């Protein structure tokens, strides 16, 4: 079983690229954002708690996200692996994922990182808010907090996965097709 992590700041194109990656490599896409949005839409207790945190631009507690992901690992069959999108976001989550996979006799296959500068993040998120109507993408304060949270909490994962020799960076400023080709060339070698 392969375990890929799709990495990058908000608006880098992870959601755009994930569909093609899943299709080409027969992976199950696990987007923590989508998992949480479905809980919010269902109005569950977890969803209401998550909505308040997300609306403020904050992260949902690790144990909640880890439980949802492990549940997917245990229930999804007939795939060649998993594509994690939005997890891990911190060193603690990366260590928890390593431990979770170790218990299965597995490990992270590779981290595909889509990178763009902060100004492009703001442009892309504003564009996504207009197209998809996502409230969490419409408020500039929330966007700035998400960028700040990414730099402070998530960027340290680059060094974590570089040290493990599992980090592969892709420039994400070209067309969707150009970026996709770069992503595929990385994944073909993992």
pLDDT at 137: 65
Which residues are 30's β-sheet partners?
A: 84
The pLDDT value given to residue 73: 93
How large a percentage of the chain has pLDDT more than 70? 97
Show me where the domains of the chain are located: 2-179
Tokens 């479905």 found at: 38
pLDDT at 162 over 90: yes
Lowest mean pLDDT among 77-86, 137-146, 167-176: 137-146
Q: What is the mean pLDDT of residues 27-40?
A: 86
For 112, list phi and psi in degrees, rounded to 5. Answer: -100, 115
186 or 37, which is more confident: 186
Furthest CA-CA distance within the chain? 43
Mean pLDDT of 20-36: 92
For the chain, give the mean pLDDT: 89
Peptide bond into 28 cis (omega under 30): no
Q: For position 25, what pLDDT does the model report?
A: 98
0.95 cut: is pTM over it? no
Q: In terms of pLDDT, which residue wins out, 115 or 37? A: 115
User: pLDDT over 90 for what percent of the chain?
Assistant: 48
Distances, alpha carbon 58 to alpha carbons 136, 143, 149, in Å: 11, 11, 8
pLDDT of 136 above 70: no
- Look at residue 41 and tell me whether its pLDDT is greater than 70: yes
Average pLDDT (64-72) is 84
pLDDT higher than 80, residue 84:
yes
Mean pLDDT for the stretch of residues 153-174: 94
Query: Average pLDDT, stretch 74-100?
Result: 93
Whether 54 shows a pLDDT value over 80: the answer reads: no
CATH number belonging to domain 2-179: 3.40.50.300
- Give the pLDDT of residue 135: 66
**DSSP per position, 37-52:** HHHHHHT-HHHHHHHH
């Amino acid at each position: 079983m392969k375990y890929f992590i799709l990495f990058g700041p908000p608006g880098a194109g992870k959601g755009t690229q994930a569909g093609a990656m899943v299709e080409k490599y027969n992976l199950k896409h696990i987007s923590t954002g989508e998992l949480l949005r479905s809980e919010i839409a269902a109005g569950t207790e977890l969803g209401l708690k998550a909505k308040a945190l997300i609306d403020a631009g904050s992260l949902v507690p690790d144990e909640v996200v880890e439980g949802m992901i492990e549940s997917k690992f245990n229930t999804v069959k007939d795939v060649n692996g998993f594509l994690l999108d939005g997890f891990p976001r911190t060193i603690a989550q990366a260590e928890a994922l390593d431990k979770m996979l170790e218990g299965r006799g597995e490990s992270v296959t590779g981290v595909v990182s889509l990178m763009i500068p902060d100004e492009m993040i703001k442009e892309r998120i504003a564009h996504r808010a207009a197209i998809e109507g996502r409230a969490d993408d419409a408020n500039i304060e929330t966007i700035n907090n998400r960028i700040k949270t990414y730099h402070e909490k998530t960027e340290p994962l680059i060094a974590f996965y570089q040290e493990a020799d599992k980090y592969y960076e892709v420039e994400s400023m070209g067309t969707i097709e150009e970026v996709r080709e770069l992503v595929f060339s990385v994944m073909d070698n993992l």
